[in-house]
């Protein structure tokens, strides 16, 4: 059956896992959208989506869903890809 404290911990973990999934999933989807816009050479859409993705990554890091260095690394990659697209355009 388990101790009451371990049962409570299990309940908390379920809630937190669900909450973290939404932040992580949103950030992941937005990063994917940026990559697709970059592949299509759509500079304007890529810029717009990059800003949204970076905001989502910052929010996920602030909420503790991902580590702040993880967010920074992903933002850096997006910026690098965007810069190379702007250079080629």
pLDDT of residue 89: 72
Is the pLDDT reported for residue 5 higher than 80? Answer: yes
> CA of 7: how far to CAs of 4, 18, 20, 47, 61, in Å?
5, 17, 20, 46, 28
What is the pTM assigned to this prediction? 0.88
Indicate the average pLDDT of the chain: 96
Cα–Cα distance, 27 to 24 (Å, whole number): 5
Confidence of residue 16 (pLDDT cuts 50, 70, 90): very high
Cβ neighbours for 65, distance < 8 A, ≥ 6 positions apart: 19, 20, 21, 23, 24, 27
Is the pLDDT reported for residue 78 higher than 70? Answer: yes
């Amino acid at each position: 059956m388990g101790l009451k404290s371990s049962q409570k911990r299990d309940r908390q973990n379920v809630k937190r896992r669900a909450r973290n999934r939404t932040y992580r999933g949103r950030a992941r989807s937005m990063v994917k959208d940026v990559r697709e816009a970059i592949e299509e050479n759509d500079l304007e859409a890529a810029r717009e989506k990059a800003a949204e993705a970076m905001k989502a990554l910052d929010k996920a890091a602030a909420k503790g869903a991902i580590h702040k260095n993880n967010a920074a690394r992903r933002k850096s990659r997006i910026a690098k890809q965007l810069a190379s697209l702007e250079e080629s355009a």
